[in-house]
Amino acid sequence: MEMVNIKINGMPLSVPNGITILEAARYAGIEIPTLCYLKDINEIGACRICMVEVKGARSLVTACVYPVNEGMEVFTNTEKVRQSRKTTLELILSTHRKDCLSCIRSGNCELQKLCKEFGVDDEHAFDGEMPAFEFDDSAAHMVRDNSKCILCRRCVAACNEQKVSVIGANARGFDTHISSAFDKDLADVSCISCGQCIVNCPTGAIYEKDDTKAVFAAINDPEKFVIVNTAPSIRVTLGEAFGMSIGSNVTGKMVAALRRLGFDKVFDTDFAADLTIMEEAYELLDRIKNGGTLPMITSCSPGWIKYCEHYYPDQLNHLSTCKSPQQMFGAITKTWYAQKMGIDPKDIVVVGIMPCTAKKFETKRDHQSASGYPDVDYALTTRELARMIDTAGIYFNHLPDEEFDNPLGESTGAAVIFGATGGVMEAALRTAVEVLTGEELQSLDFTEVRGQGIKEASYNVAGLDVKVAVASGAAAAHEIMEKVKNGTADYQFIEIMGCPGGCVNGGGQPIQHAVVHNFVDLKGRRAAALYEADKNLPKRKSHESEAVKKVYAEFLGEPNSHKAHEVLHTSYVKRPKYK
Amino acid sequence: MLKKISKSPFKGTPEQEAQLKAIIEENKHDSSMLMHVMQQAQAIYGYLPFEVQVMIAEGMDIPLEKVYGVSTFYAQFSLSPKGKYNIAVCLGTACYVKGSQALLDELSKQLGIGPGECTEDGQFSLEATRCIGACGLAPVLNVNEDVYGKLVPDQIAGIIEKYKNA
């Protein structure tokens, strides 16, 4: 690598040629503030917060896109730089609805943080005309409030990165605003509800629809038996909301917090993930043996499902008919568990804690009410749970570790890894191989399907060649689906997740500032914690879950039985791309 | 100024569609030709309604939102059809100080449409323009190719009447 010699604030430094001033400054331990910059996907130099002085340059330059060269002298902390950043912030504030006290991002807002850091002392410095703001709460899962938008376009970049591209910058000058084509409501365009725009927004302009009040009300209602279940990835991300390092496994504290919030039972979505594997593995074997539609594609991710329905409506028969673990959990709870406990399903409220905003949409889908009542009543994001814990005054970091309730709190390592891309595939392989061969697996780690990007692998399972593929993020899904569509996908089984990296990077996860997205392997560190959890569990194969065995013995019979189909399977609908 | 999106139903003909499809076919492998295709589409239809933008988006494999973003960024693109008679009021400096805003307001009132819009019967559309270079006649407006200068709002009714009966 060619190196160049530069000076940052007088400090001599040797850095790779061609990197930006922003990146070079990190070698010197200096963080240059950014707002619009997202590494690789939004390098537009638009917000002007990262301005620095370069000796010999006519004016300040944008550090996020300006490459270093030999002999360059950069100054990141001069009076001119500080004044420029402060003025930029004041100008942004001139069209910003400044109700920080009640803003959902108060305390975690990148704009607020910068205003504090650069000593903005008059938020009304440039008050004047305000643009006409729209407020779009048409979608099931989120709200767009342009009065908080700073036009950084990070949401647009995230949406483009997903190859969904339903939001963008429209009009020009003072009228520039982020919206959908023809300024249609989000509910009327082909948004897949993934929430990647939310986790990339620096301010409170985009956020999930809040269901915490309704959940508190259910808990307070003596008539209601309120059951919570937590998705696999929540246990390794919730800690971030309380200042813990990325990748902290807080399973025990999470359970303790949920119990203190007053839920009647604290169960684990992982139980249903194991159940999903049973149904999905048997469905796959059935399709292979009986000439069903192949490749079969996983159906756990409602963002992916909605993507498929909008963009590949003619390929829906490739989707596994299995409900997602969240919905299977609700279905079993309101049928088998309700019967067992003698509780009327109408009095049961099922709350899922999900890494996902599309899960909110999923709860309202058709054919998701096995008991006659909706399988799941509320899907809360990790962030909403964190807010409930804060509201309740629970000192999360000091909680003791507690265990899930039984029987729906039992699960295996195969379920835990559902939260990372490749996890469902690996879990399914562990079960499919043992079921087909009748022999115990030597190694449970199918490492070929782990990690980022599209992965392919072939396995010989009891004389049967099974070729699999794994993709995460809608753009990768697009790449695979083009092959499926034109008949060149020679796989039997494909796992697709709607968000890049899978659920650990879901749109409902704790929001990390851009600096983390840009310079930390967020997906990787969260996923590593899940694989570590899997490794340390006594049982690591879904078919070994006692709870799952019991549900089949007492209620469902065999996997893919008629009863299982009634309770655990669903259907899909073609959705238009344009309305 | 935010562009007005026409609410009147799309009345494209199969001939127009064939013309546009041919242009898209020629340019679909080069996304940098988007502007060109949009200009041609506007030449064919007179404006760029939803249906036309969807054809361009699908044909060029460019998200509809991007096409819409371009159509709302550049002043040359219209989201409303032009009427049989397009009334363009000059809001250049000279006309403006001579009171052309009052002409525009009077037209809006009488036609029941704002700038960038078209009457439901398709007869009249209204447009506010930059300087058209006829400052000596300020305040000035054009009805298609006809120029009317040194106007006062009281004359507006007569001008509209003339074209209504034309």
Where along chain A do its domains lie? Answer: 3-77, 127-208, 212-568
| Chain A / chain B CB contacts < 8 angstroms | 43
CA-based nearest residue in chain A for residue B70:
A170
d(CA A414, CA A426): 7
Distance of alpha carbon A511 from alpha carbon A415, whole angstroms: 24
Report the relative pairing of strands A464-472 and A493-497 from DSSP bridges: parallel
Cross-strand bridge partners of residue B147: B142
Which residue in B1, B2, B54 is closest to A578 by CB distance?
B54
Is CATH 2.40.37.20 the right assignment for the domain spanning A3-77?
A: no
| Tokens, residue A380 | 């809360």
Given a contact cutoff of 8 angstroms between Cβ atoms, the answer to whether A508 and A210 are in contact is no
Residue A11 to residue A28: CA distance in whole angstroms: 8
Quick one: closest CA in A to B77, which residue? Answer: A171
Query: For residue A391, how many C-alpha atoms fall within 13 Å in the half-sphere facing its CB?
Result: 13
| Residue A169 in contact with partner chain B when CB distance is under 8 A | yes
Q: Which residues contact A420 (CB under 8 A, 6 or more apart)?
A: A233, A450, A501, A502, A503, A504, A526, A527, A530, A531
pLDDT of residue A442: 87
In the prediction, which pLDDT does A1 show?
82
B66 touches chain A (CB under 8 A): yes
A527, two tokens: 């996923």
Which residues numbered 94-113 in B keep a CB inside 8 Å of some CB on A? none
Q: How does strand B124-129 pair with strand A206-208?
A: unpaired
Residue B7 has pLDDT above 90, yes or no: no
DSSP annotation of A189 reads B
Rounded CA separation A166/A188 (Å): 10
Q: Which residue, among B47, B72, B77, B79, would best test binding to A if mutated, counting the most A CBs under 10 Å from its CB? A: B72
Question: What's the confidence (pLDDT) of residue B1?
Answer: 67
Best of B6, B53, B58, B65 to mutate (most A CBs within 10 Å, chain A): B65
Please answer whether residues A336 and A313 qualify as being in contact, where contact means their C-beta atoms are separated by less than 8 angstroms: no
The distance of B45 to chain A (nearest Cα, Å) reads 18
The CA-to-CA distance between both ends of chain A, in Å, stands at: 51
Across the interface, do A170 and B1 touch by the CB < 8 Å criterion? Answer: no
The residue of chain A nearest to residue B67, with distances taken between CA atoms, is A181
The reported pLDDT for the residue numbered A275 is: 98
Beta-strand (E) ranges in B37-97? 85-90
The CATH class given to the A127-208 domain equals: alpha beta
Q: How many whole angstroms separate alpha carbon A424 and alpha carbon A443?
A: 17
B137 C-beta neighbours (distance < 10 Å), count: 17
Alpha-carbon span A226 to A267, nearest angstrom = 11
Judged by a CB distance cut-off of 8 A, whether residue B65 touches chain A is yes
Determine contact, residues A523/A305, Cβ cutoff 8 Å.
no
Question: Contacts for A478-484 with beta carbons within 8 Å, 24 or more apart?
Answer: A478/A163, A478/A311, A479/A454, A480/A454, A481/A308, A481/A311, A481/A312, A481/A315, A484/A295, A484/A297, A484/A312, A484/A315, A484/A318
Q: A482 and chain B: CB distance < 8 Å anywhere? A: no
pLDDT at B166 over 80: no
Residue A453 contacts by C-beta under 8 Å, 6 or more apart in sequence? A476
The pLDDT tens digits along chain A (579 residues) read 899 999 999 999 999 999 999 999 999 999 999 999 999 999 999 999 999 999 999 999 999 999 999 999 999 999 999 999 999 999 999 999 999 999 999 999 999 999 999 999 999 999 999 998 889 999 999 999 999 999 999 999 999 999 999 999 999 999 999 999 999 999 999 999 999 999 999 999 999 999 999 999 999 999 999 999 999 999 999 999 999 999 999 999 999 999 999 999 999 999 999 999 999 999 998 999 899 999 999 999 999 999 999 999 999 999 999 999 999 999 999 999 999 999 999 999 999 999 999 999 999 999 999 999 999 999 999 999 999 999 999 999 999 999 999 999 999 999 999 999 999 999 999 999 998 888 898 889 999 999 988 999 999 887 888 999 999 999 999 999 999 999 999 999 999 999 999 999 999 999 999 999 999 999 999 999 999 999 999 999 999 999 999 999 999 999 999 999 999 999 999 999 998
Of the candidates B3, B65, B73, which has its C-beta nearest A165's C-beta? B65
Is pLDDT at B93 greater than 90 in this prediction?
yes
Region of A538 on the Ramachandran plot (φ > 0 left; ψ -120 to 50 alpha; else beta): alpha
Does B68 sit within 8 Å of A171, measured CB to CB?
Answer: no
Residue-level pLDDT at A133: 86
> What is the reported pTM?
0.94
Which residues of chain A make contact with B64, given a CB cutoff of 8 A?
181, 578
Contacts of A134 in chain B (CB under 8 A): none
Contact at CB, B66 and A165, closer than 8 angstroms: yes
Structure tokens at B125: 């559309």
Residues of A with CB below 8 A from B3's CB?
A: 171
A163 Cα to chain B: minimum distance (Å): 9
Q: Give Cβ neighbours of residue A558 (< 8 Å, ≥ 6 apart).
A: A282, A552, A564
Lateral strand order in the sheet of A11-16: A11-16, A3-8, A73-75, A51-54, A61-62
Interface-testing mutation among A179, A182, A191, A307, with chain B (most B C-beta atoms within 10 A):
A182
User: What's the ipTM?
Assistant: 0.93
Beta bridge partners of A496: A471
Distances (CA, A) of A77 to A32, A64, A420: 9, 16, 40
Element (H, E) at B37: helix B34-45
The 3-class secondary structure across A359-408, one letter per residue, is HHHHHCCCCCCCCCCCCCCEEEEHHHHHHHHHHCCCCHHHCCCCCCCCCC
Going by pLDDT thresholds of 50, 70 and 90, the confidence category of residue B3 is confident
The whole-angstrom separation of Cα B143 and Cα B146 is: 5
Question: What's the rounded Cα separation, in Å, for the pair A267 and A76?
Answer: 51
Instruction: Give residues with Cβ within 8 angstroms of A56, minimum separation 6.
Output: A73
Q: Tell me the backbone φ, ψ of residue B86, rounded to 5 degrees.
A: -100, 120
* Beta strand B141-143 pairing with A348-354: unpaired
* Neighboring chain A residues of B68 at a CB cutoff of 8 Å: 168, 170, 181-182
CA A412/CA A426 separation, integer angstroms:
13
Phi, psi of B72 (to 5 degrees): -95, -15
Output the average pLDDT for chain B.
94
**Is A165 close to B68, i.e. CB distance below 8 A?**
no
Nearest CA in chain A to B78: A171
**Gap between the Cα atoms of A126 and A388, Å rounded:** 37
Residue A132, pLDDT score: 86
Answer whether B69 sits within 8 Å of A578, measured CB to CB. Answer: no
Do A165 and B69 make contact, defined as CB atoms within 8 angstroms? no
Q: Which fold has domain A212-568?
A: Rossmann fold (3.40.50)
